[in-house]
Chain A
Amino acid sequence: MSQDVILKAEGLRREFVTQKPLFGKPTVVRAVDGVTLSILQGETFAIVGESGCGKSTLARLLVRLIEPTAGSVWYEGDDIARLDPRALRDLRKDLQFIFQDPLSSLNPQMTVGALIEEPLITHGIGDKVQRRARVADLLSRVGLIPTHADRYPHEFSGGQRQRIGIARALATGPRLIIGDEPVSALDVSIQAQVVNILEDLKEAFGLTLVVIAHDLAVIRHMADRVAVMYLGEIVELARAEDLFTAPQHPYTATLLAAIPIARVGSRRESARVGPRQERAQLDGDLPNPTAPPPGCRFHTRCPHAQARCSTERPALRDLGGRQVACHFAETLELTGLDGADAARSPATTARFALYRAARAQEDGTAVADKTDSTTEETRT
């Protein structure tokens, strides 16, 4: 992976008016409040956080689906707010978006073929014959079959619709794709298929992926680097490995402690006998984002908060290869997830190996998941 920055955000802020009385001051929420980050060419960058943390707003700001209140986004060295219409059109070609619910982002009156062809027409790519061929190619890339082009979105299952959304995003030959919760509406087995497809396509086209998600296991699997957001701010940004095994922000540790782990005993003992500190302390809801707490926004829920935290807002600081917004990041001893939490019994490991082998054999090749693609039956 080269270390070139492909997309950069500086001091990004976006306010929304949530309530506007006839007289007096409107209520304003800063959905994204001063975010600075750089996304590197070819990496998978994840943005994680709970509802209302601003992650979806940030995603939309990054590709200028919405305009920032302050701050700027730079793509390949150009400020995307200052692009002329023609350059903006080229930008749209390069930066594509995948939505959580594909059904609501696919026009139900258009066939799948027309939906995938539409961006090609918009950008004047190819003639009719070439576009047809491209649609067929894209469909097979995401594991659908070319005859699916004549059907309508409602005829497909949720997983297939997400594949259609991915094919449409790929149509213009983008360099960067942002997925806003691209797999969270899907069942586990279907989610795994789509995750594999995204990773295959990333590899095949040399894409940069930005994934917004709340499912930390998916992020652990996909991401190279992770930014954790809380109430509009990034509180920690680190390599996935570092973030999961050794979090340095208490909120990151809280999130990790809250994940239910699919292994008997890994959580229940601690939860039943004496909860971990992070887990015990996470009582309470997210504060109201229109009136975030002063000082560190997490201090109202933080098990390690001290007096300073309620008055002085911590900046996102460089801390040896990662960035953390906590006054006490150096001294806190936080617990992450080590491999043992996820370790499987010998019998389970053996069964997994058998299953994997049988699947590979069934597929006939090492390309273990070609069938992910082709065996899905269309709904009728």
Chain B
Amino acid sequence: MKSDTPLLDVRDLSIRVAGVKPLLVDGISFALDPGQTLCIVGESGCGKSLTSLALMGLLQTPPLSITGGTARFAGRDLLTMTRQELGHVRGDRMAMIFQEPMSSLNPALKIGEQIAEAVRRHKGVGRDAARARALQMLERVRIPAAARRLDAYPHELSGGMRQRVMIAMALANDPELLIADEPTTALDVTIQAQILDLMRELQAETGAAMILITHDLGVVAEMADQVAVMYAGRIVEKGPVAQIFDDPQHPYTIGLMSSMPSLGARADRLVTIPGVVPQAADMPAGCRFASRCPFRSGICDTVPPLSSVGNGHDVACFHAPLEQAPRPKAVSA
């Protein structure tokens, strides 16, 4: 059900940091259709948050810089917009939710005012209309006693309630694209479930597309239509969510899944990924996962292209499918 032009079309996005030669985000591409959810999954330092910040024009430049690529949103390239143009789009047609709501809410401003401010800025409505919208949004994210909470300050709310306020603010202008960076990571598991359910419901109501950034494969399985697995600045595997979970191809994806303790009957030792992600400056020239990969061979010294294995499923590994991979025999690294 792909429409002809995706809502967001990111191509070859690259980001580097001053003084380090290997790119922090190295030529990643993905597209997102209206109403769809793309989960970008990966561990610390894989570049998933940098990617979302770049799309929102929130990268700290310098030391970071975008060295290439395009990100067409509804036909226009976000990466070449002026600050002013971006200011019109951001918070209106696209909005962002962060992990820690306390750091993105203004502690000195009542939450009703903060939401109303976002509405007035973009919709040019009056004070009363904006406040009415703020109330409506708080009700929509099911904050109890919403009318009273309009006048609450962020510190008076619990973590889950603050995240609801963030969502209310992000959705106040009916954005077409919502970028959520680890929106539930700081929350307890029952509160996380509430917030995920809420996000899913609101998305179904509004038809917004969503990029959900997470490290939690459980959240991915629950929320995603499409998945992109990132490792050390590159997308190593992407495809429809069922493909990723039921037919994982990249050794990193498989290693990540097997590192997760199962919720089923108690298993043996966890099968882990050895070592740690290389530091940006020491990134290998070829496949960036090679140093930790049990399937590596000589060919891995070149960069594996992201190529299709069918069913809209792409993987960046020379050895996929692994059934046909050469048996590693005391490989010299």
Contacts and interface: CB of A to CB of B under 8 A. Distances in A.
A322 interface: no
B266 A264 contact: no
Contacts of B20: none
Interface stretch (B67-75, B82-90, B253-261): B253-261
Nearest to A339: B264
B200 A199 contact: no
A337 B264 contact: yes
Interface string B1-19: 0000000000000000000
B318 interface: no
Main secondary structure of the interface of A (DSSP, over half): helix
Interface stretch (B51-59, B167-175, B325-333): B325-333
Interface in B260-303: 260-267, 269-276, 278-279, 282, 292, 294-295
Contact of B261 (A195, A266, A341): A195
Nearest to A375: B275
B295 A279 contact: no
B242 interface: yes
B269 A368 contact: yes
B241 interface: yes
B132 interface: no
Contacts of B258: 352, 355-356
B248 interface: yes
Nearest to A199: B269
Contacts of A159: 276
A22 interface: no
A258 B325 CA distance: 38
A216 B257 CA distance: 16
A262 B200 contact: no
A308 interface: no
Contacts of A290: none
Nearest to B330: A364
Nearest to A49: B188
Interface residues of A, number: 77
Interface in A179-222: 187-193, 195-196, 199, 214, 216-218, 220-222
B306 interface: no
Contact of A341 (B190, B249, B263, B275): B263
B151 interface: no
B193 A257 contact: yes
Contacts of A380: 279
Interface stretch (A82-90, A99-107, A108-116, A343-351): A343-351
Nearest to A346: B246
Contacts of B217: 188, 262
A217 B43 contact: no
Contacts of B91: none
Contacts of A356: 258, 271
- Please classify how large the interface on chain B is, using the bins under 10, 10 to 19, 20 to 34, 35 or more: 35 or more
Interface in A214-253: 214, 216-218, 220-222, 240-241, 244
Nearest to B253: A351
Contacts of A361: 294, 327-329
A270 B256 CA distance: 26
B156 interface: no
A196 B190 contact: no
A337 B197 CA distance: 19
Given A218-B261, A241-B266, A264-B242, A283 B189 contact: no
B183 interface: no
B104 interface: no
A132 interface: no
A187 B222 contact: no
Contacts of B329: 361
Given A157-B276, A195-B270, A375-B275, A255 B190 contact: yes
Interface string B99-112: 00000000000000
A285 B161 CA distance: 8
A271 B266 contact: no
A238 B292 CA distance: 39
A371 B275 contact: yes
Contacts of B30: none
A196 B322 contact: no
A292 to B, nearest CB: 16
A263 B295 CA distance: 25
A348 B262 CA distance: 14
A264 B263 contact: no
B247 interface: yes
Given A195-B261, A221-B267, A188 B215 contact: yes
A354 B260 contact: no
A362 interface: yes
A64 interface: no
B76 interface: no
- Count chain B CB atoms within 10 A of each CB in A271, A339, A379 and give the residue with the most: A271
A133 to B, nearest CB: 27
B245 A255 contact: no
B201 to A, nearest CB: 9
Given A265-B221, A356-B271, 17 more contacts: A50-B188, A188-B259, A189-B255, A192-B273, A196-B269, A196-B270, A218-B261, A220-B263, A241-B266, A260-B222, A267-B221, A275-B197, A282-B194, A351-B247, A354-B254, A368-B269, A369-B269
Interface of A: 50-51, 157, 159, 187-193, 195-196, 199, 214, 216-218, 220-222, 240-241, 244, 254-255, 257-268, 271-272, 275, 279, 282-286, 337-339, 341-345, 347-348, 350-352, 354-356, 358-359, 361-362, 364, 368-369, 371-372, 375-377, 379-380
9 contacts: A50-B188, A195-B261, A217-B262, A285-B160, A337-B264, A342-B263, A354-B322, A362-B328, A372-B272
Interface of B: 43-44, 142, 144, 158-161, 188-194, 196-197, 200, 215-223, 241-242, 245-249, 251, 254-267, 269-276, 278-279, 282, 292, 294-295, 322-323, 325, 327-331
